Each structure stands twice: as structure tokens, then as C-alpha cells.
Structure 1
Amino acid sequence: MATEYWMSGPVDNIPALLQPVAHALLQANLEVNDLMQDFPEARLWERPADVASPGFHLQHISGVLDRLLTYARAESLSQEQLTYLSEEGKPGKRLQELLDLFNTQTHKALMQLSVTPEDTLTDFRGVGRKQLPSTVLGLLFHAAEHTMRHTGQLLVTVKIML
């Protein structure tokens, strides 16, 4: 594997305090795409040892990334996002569709990071229906760590399956 993103210097156009978020998202994107390159489509929704399927992880990573970025912008979830949430884990999408969605969400996240002023990182944001308190930085950090958590789970699941 090439040098990991966090050891490759700053990501262009990303504020200094958000570099770790960008590095984690880029690393996850690289690892997921490499891992799933030759994965058999027929096994996408299998649940080995009753753990989440590879398809679920791919759906969930993209959905949570989208939702957390929405909250960081101080926006409410759209009906489309709520529908997507209700369909996470349900078979239906093909592997390439899920990878394309993850790649798109990663790109959108990087674009949002690039226009996020550092002086807003401690601004409070409400999360979910209960409007639980967080900060812009908390939401962006959680988007990165959640993405990496599911990337690791996906990696283990796929390794067990193949």
C-alpha cells in the first residue's frame, strides 16, 4: 500500500484543523474501493456469522456521512435522507451503485470541509429529532471516525468471506 493519507501532507483547500477529517475520509475511500474491486456481487448481502453484510456497511457509511454533514450545516434531514435511512440494510442496490454513492459522498464531504470556516467549528448544532447537542467539529470528526469504523468492519467481514 502507498503512504497513508495522514502521512502525505495537507489536502489542498482543506482548513488546517479539518485535515485529519479529510485524511480519514480519503483513506477510507481508498481502502473501500480497493477492497471491493473484485468482490463477488452475489455475496454482497450475505451475513457471515450473523454480522452485517458488506452491502449494509457500504449503504450505512454513505448514509451516515450524508446525515452528519447535513447536521454540520445546521440543516434538517430531507425526506429523501429519511427514506434512505429506512432502507439501510435492505438488499437491492448493486455493488457499483453503492461504491459510486460512497465516492460521491466522500467528494461532497471534502467539498464541504473546504468551505467550512475554522471559526465555526465550536458552533453548536442540533442532531436528530431530539436535537442532541454537538458542535460542527464534533459532527465532522464523528463523520470521519464512523466512516473508518465501518471501513474496518467491512474489511474484516470481506476477509472472512473470501
Structure 2
Amino acid sequence: MAEPWLRGPIAGMPAMVMPAAHALMQAAEDIPMAAEGLTTAQLWALPGGAAAVGFHLRHLAGSIDRLLTYENGKMLSDAQTVELDAEIEDDGRDADQLARDAVTAIGRAIEAMRVTPPGTYLDSRGVGRRKLPTTVLGLLVHIAEHTQRHVGGIVATAKVVRARS
């Protein structure tokens, strides 16, 4: 099957965010294959000081949640801040569950792209306690590029930890 960006338009997706949605679709396909069957030791290994696959999976899901919060013009909740601080830790979920949770978060991001009115893309938004300036479109695109960056880490690190086992 062709990669998502070669499969044509996504029904109901505004053209301005379609490339970002395609990137997220690719990420959602790559994650389960990369994480499938990793042991707890492999999931949390730090080969050469690289971030653990488990961290990438938790951070990817958590960052999507946080970025969508900012996209909606809100500040993070206490629970979101606690989750951010805990992303480097093994919380007991196995690789397959973490992958499912990441894919679910990606699905929420794709749906947010679908339903966000294009007329709001240039609306200002603030990120973090300092409310660093961006736009709705900036947040939506950043979700995709940030997700892709962490999927690359997942794929590469999973290969390394499998090869070392």
C-alpha cells in the first residue's frame, strides 16, 4: 500500500493541514510496527544515552494532548503537568499498550485538524506558562512535525535494542 501522502485527499480535511494530517497517518502506521513485542527491558533501554522507546511513546501522546490544549486557547491542567514530569518513567504499560495510546492520541490530533475552522488558523495562541506566541496553524503543524521526530526515535531505538538482545 502507498504511504498516506500518496493515497490522495482525506475526506473532510482542509487542504492547508492535509500534509500534516498525512504525516500523522504515517506515524500512526509506523508506531505499532516499531514497538510490537518489545520487552520491558527493551522499552526502557537507553542505548548510547538515547531516549527510551517508552519515553518517546509516552511523550508523543502527552505532547499531542498538551499541544491540543494550547490550540484550544487553554493552559495545561495540573494532571497534564504531572504527566509531563512522569514521561521518562516506566508506568507499567507494555509496549503494545503505549503504542495504542500513542496512536489514539494521533487520531485525536487528526480529528482536531479536520474540525478546526480554517478561518481560525492565524488566530494567536500562547504556549506554556510564558505564553510564547504561535498560531492555531503553527500548533497543528508542530503536532505533526514533533510526532514525526519522535517516531523516528522510536523506529531507530527499537532497531538498536532488538539488535542488542
TM over 0.5: yes
Counterpart position of 2:85: 86
Superposed displacement of residue 39, structure 1 = 2.3
Deviates more, 1:99-108 or 1:122-131: 99-108
Taking only aligned residues, the RMSD between alpha carbons, in angstroms, comes to: 1.2
Distance across 1 between alignment mates of 2:36 and 2:42: 13
Deviates more, 1:88-97 or 1:54-63: 88-97
Superposed displacement of residue 59, structure 1 = 0.6
Equivalent residue letter for 2:104: T
1:129-151 CA-partner distances (Å, limit 9, x unpaired): 00000001111111100000111
Distance across 2 between alignment mates of 1:12 and 1:75: 28
Counterpart position of 1:8: 7
Counterpart position of 1:71: 70
Question: Is 1:57 aligned to residue 56 of structure 2?
Answer: yes
Distance across 2 between alignment mates of 1:158 and 1:107: 23
Unpaired stretches in structure 2, ≥5 consecutive residues: none
Counterpart position of 2:105: 105
Unpaired stretches in structure 1, ≥5 consecutive residues: none
Q: Is the 8 A contact 2:126 2:134 kept in 1?
A: yes
Equivalent residue letter for 2:90: P
Segments of 4+ moved more than 3 angstroms = none
Aligned residues between the structures: 161
Counterpart position of 2:118: 118
Superposed displacement of residue 49, structure 1 = 0.8
TM-score (norm 2): 0.92
TM-score (norm 1): 0.94
* Secondary structure in structure 1 of the residue aligned to 2:51: coil
1:60-93 CA-partner distances (Å, limit 9, x unpaired): 1111111111111111111221111010111123
* Secondary structure in structure 2 of the residue aligned to 1:3: coil
Q: Is the 8 A contact 2:42 2:158 kept in 1?
A: no
1:6-64 CA-partner distances (Å, limit 9, x unpaired): 11111122111110111011101100111112323331111111111110010111111
Equivalent residue letter for 1:9: G
